[in-house]
């Protein structure tokens, strides 16, 4: 086992926090979310599901895989070739890249209910575009939401009214510092499955409520009775229904997961896996609603940059050709079965939840301490491991078997410490921070 207390990445992370507020640009990649003092934090190169840190230590990534952005694996050769060619031929010019139109056509082909598309580069800004378009069309300001939808003012404003509104949707105790107080009361939360709460919002705010934004699923199949009732109420009160499928799209099927069920939104937001690690976000919708974008101002230079469109088109081509969705489902099921088997064998307190392509390891005793120790001990054995596994096409059976072999040893070690009430003795540093809260 390697000594994880000595690595250049952890030292650089401490320096980064003196230069960059928070240390980096994404909460989910901060070292404190994994091992506050010993996480390698930075990489030199990556390929497939393997990563090399600043000291050339090699890891198999059995965790977040770029926060779910790389279902085909890191640095996929065909995508990299397509991107490199696009760069060599010019990634930004005074004219538009033709791939923008091709991607719009492809996404509309995949989603027959939609007729229009707009593009951005990140999930949060794509959600903001969707809300702006929906407000422009509905001529009503208030937004009701369920789930996590980014960092922008329209969303965080819900905590101006009640600082607990995002406790279960995003992070507990989140202060909306910097969000204009005049947005107070414009954003209304409701919980997954709580139709009475949503009906109450509609009853109280129907004359001002113009938009509903919701994640359709996160850890399990959606409650279709709940979602269809929301669809019905949105139709009755001229409310634009937006499905945020930034995380759920391209995991259970090619396109938005709502295509698997008999339900259609007015707008759908896609991202993450769409570009397999290259920045691209899409907002697709019904034409008469999307045209309202023209009545507002929604524009940005780098939304026209070529690489995101090229990467997305190649990603979709490979997914369709290689039946990637079925592959990652099968691999996820294999890993899930293995984890459940060794948890039972070691009597380790674990429930494996989530859909097969995105596994969630729910530690049921001393959750944060156990998560920290699991991450710590697996890191010593050459794995980036946490309580989430975004399965990719690069996770082959030999790598899965190697992960399970080492996980069994770590499970047994943690279980013995739990039984002896000696868990703290296994910790090499502080306990990790808690992550995002999810309702669905």
Q: Which of 211, 246, 217, 255 is nearest to 230 (CA)?
A: 211
User: End of a domain among 322, 347, 381?
Assistant: 322
Are 62 and 116 in a shared domain? Answer: no
Q: Give yes or no: residues 106 and 168 share one domain.
A: yes
Which tens digit of pLDDT belongs to each residue from 371-392?
999 999 999 999 999 999 999 9
Mean pLDDT confidence for 178-183: 95
Residues 325-335 have pLDDT tens digits of 999 999 999 99
Select from 251, 303, 257 the least CA-distant residue to 273: 251
- Is residue 82 within 8 Å of residue 262, measured between CB atoms? no
Question: Which position has the token pair 């064998």?
Answer: 345
Query: Could you read off the pLDDT of 6-49 as tens digits, one per residue?
Result: 899 999 999 999 999 999 999 999 999 999 999 999 999 999 99
Cα distance between residue 238 and residue 14, in whole Å: 51
Structure confidence at residue 434 (pLDDT): 85
Which residues span the domain enclosing 99?
77-322
Residues 408 and 285 occupy one common structural domain: no
Mean pLDDT of 273-284: 98
Percentage of the residues of the chain whose pLDDT score is greater than 70: 99
pLDDT at 440: 34
Q: Are residues 268 and 312 in the same domain?
A: yes
In a domain, 434, yes or no: no
Residue 417 lies in a domain: yes
Do 91 and 305 contact (CB within 8 A), yes or no? yes
The token duo for 404 is 């399970």
Summarised one tens digit per residue, pLDDT across range 133-176 is: 999 999 999 999 999 999 999 999 999 988 888 888 887 888 89
Find the mean pLDDT for residues 403-428.
Answer: 97
Task: Specify whether 302 is located in the same domain as 229.
Answer: yes
Q: Give the whole-angstrom CA distance, residue 405 versus residue 400.
A: 9
440 inside domain: no
How much of the chain is in helix, strand and coil states, percent to nearest 5? Answer: 45, 15, 40
**pTM, full prediction:** 0.95
For position 168, what pLDDT does the model report? 82
- Is residue 349 in a domain? yes
Is residue 219's pLDDT more than 90?
A: no
CA distances from 217 to 60, 129, 231, 271 (A): 28, 21, 15, 15
Domain boundary among 295, 322, 349: 322
Residues 318 and 416 grouped into a single domain: no
Answer yes or no: do 277 and 169 share one domain.
Answer: yes
How far separated are the first and last CA of the chain, in Å rounded? 38
377/413 same-domain check: yes
Residue 150 in any domain: the answer is: yes
Q: What is the CATH number of the domain that holds 209?
A: 3.40.640.10
Domain assignment of residue 436, yes or no = no
Answer for the pair 388, 361: CB distance below 8 angstroms, yes or no: yes
pLDDT recorded at residue 122: 96
CB burial of residue 162 (10 Å; 0-12, 13-18, 19+): exposed
Domain match, 362 and 346 both: yes
Instruction: Look at residue 36 and tell me if it is in a domain.
Output: yes
Q: Is residue 1 part of a domain?
A: no
Quote the percentage of the chain above a pLDDT of 90: 92
Count of CB atoms within 10 A of residue 295's CB?
A: 10
pLDDT of the residue at 439 = 36
Whichever domain contains 421, its CATH number is 3.90.1150.10
Q: Are residues 96 and 202 in the same domain?
A: yes
Instruction: Give the domain-ending residue among 299, 322, 345.
Output: 322
358-363 and 388-390: which strand pairing? antiparallel
Do 115 and 197 fall within a single domain? yes
Same domain, 344 and 301: no
What is residue 82's three-state secondary structure? helix
Give the model confidence (pLDDT) of 83-129 as tens digits.
999 999 999 999 999 999 999 999 999 999 999 999 999 999 999 99
Number of domains observed in the structure of the chain: 2
Give the pLDDT score at 437.
Answer: 55
């Amino acid at each position: 086992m390697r000594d994880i207390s000595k690595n250049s990445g952890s030292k650089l992370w401490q320096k980064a926090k003196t230069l960059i507020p928070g240390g980096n640009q994404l909460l989910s990649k901060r070292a404190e979310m994994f091992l506050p003092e010993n996480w390698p934090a930075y990489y030199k190169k990556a390929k497939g599901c393997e990563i090399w840190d600043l000291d050339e230590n090699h890891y198999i990534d059995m965790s977040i895989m770029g926060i779910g952005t790389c279902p085909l694996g890191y640095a996929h050769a065909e995508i990299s070739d397509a991107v490199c060619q696009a760069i060599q031929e010019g990634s930004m010019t005074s004219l538009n890249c033709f791939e923008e139109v091709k991607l719009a056509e492809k996404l509309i082909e995949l989603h027959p209910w939609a007729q229009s598309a707009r593009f951005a580069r990140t999930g949060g800004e794509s959600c903001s575009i969707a809300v702006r378009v929906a407000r422009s069309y509905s001529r009503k300001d208030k937004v009701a939401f369920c789930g996590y939808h980014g960092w922008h003012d329209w969303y965080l404003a819900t905590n101006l009214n009640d600082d607990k509104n995002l406790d279960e949707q995003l992070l507990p105790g989140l202060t909306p510092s910097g969000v204009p107080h005049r947005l107070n009361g414009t954003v209304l939360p409701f919980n997954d499955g709580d139709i009475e709460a949503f009906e109450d919002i509609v009853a109280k705010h129907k004359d001002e409520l113009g938009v509903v934004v919701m994640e359709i699923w996160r850890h399990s199949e959606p409650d279709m009775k709940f979602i269809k009732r929301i669809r019905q109420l949105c139709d009755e009160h001229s409310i634009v229904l937006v499905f945020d499928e930034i995380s759920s799209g391209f995991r259970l099927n090619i396109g938005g997961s709502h295509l698997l069920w008999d339900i259609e939104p007015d707008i759908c937001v896609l991202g993450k896996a769409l570009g397999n690690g290259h920045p691209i976000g899409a907002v697709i919708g019904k034409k008469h609603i999307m045209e309202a974008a023209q009545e507002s101002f929604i524009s940005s230079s780098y939304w026209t940059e070529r690489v995101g469109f090229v990467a997305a088109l190649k990603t979709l081509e490979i997914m369709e050709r290689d039946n990637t969705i079925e592959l990652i489902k099968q691999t996820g099921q294999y890993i899930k079965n293995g984890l459940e088997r060794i948890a039972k064998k070691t009597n380790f307190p674990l429930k494996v939840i989530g859909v097969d392509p995105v596994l969630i390891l729910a530690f049921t005793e001393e959750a944060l301490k156990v998560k920290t120790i699991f991450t710590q001990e697996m890191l010593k054995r050459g794995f980036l491991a946490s309580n989430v596994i975004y399965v990719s096409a690069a996770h082959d059976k030999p790598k899965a078997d190697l992960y399970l072999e080492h996980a069994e040893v770590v499970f047994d070690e943690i279980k013995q410490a739990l039984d002896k009430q000696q868990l703290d003795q296994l910790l090499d540093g502080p306990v990790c921070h808690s992550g995002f809260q999810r309702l669905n």
